[in-house]
Amino acid sequence: PHAHVVTTTTHKSLRGPRGGMILCNDEDIAKKMNSAVFPGLQGGPLMHVIAAKAVAFGEALKPSFKVYAESVAANAKALASSLKETGLDIVSGGTDNHLMLVDLRPKNATGKRAEAALGRANITCNK
């Protein structure tokens, strides 16, 4: 299975500098995306950021990165399990990767409040 377009960040799981990527395997779609983004939304290249991304990709090729990625997934699975034990609903029932969707409605909590509390515990989330 594959997708024609995939987006990702370079500063979260990849552990690189802040940024993002759009990956595409269709030349026509790629040309349209490039025209939509540059110029206008995307500025000039910052060579130090490009170099830092190259370092991050190099690190991702090492066996230690696989250990790191497996640890991230295991930690997310443990967190999802613990949250379920406290009565929170994990919408998909659990997680097989670093993502989970927690239904906070029964607790009358907002995503904004949860994001702030998790941030104080050094846990990054999207509300």
List Cβ neighbours of 83 (8 Å cut-off, separation of 6 or more). Answer: 90, 100, 102
Instruction: Report the C-alpha gap between 9 and 15 in whole angstroms.
Output: 9
Q: pTM to 2 decimals? A: 0.74
Instruction: Report the C-alpha gap between 104 and 93 in whole angstroms.
Output: 14
Question: For 65-92, how does the pLDDT look when each residue is reduced to its tens digit (9 = 90+)?
Answer: 999 999 999 999 999 999 999 999 999 9
Span 38-56, mean pLDDT?
88
**Predicted pLDDT of residue 127:** 78
**Residue bearing the bigger pLDDT, 1 or 6:** 6
**Predicted pLDDT of residue 66:** 97
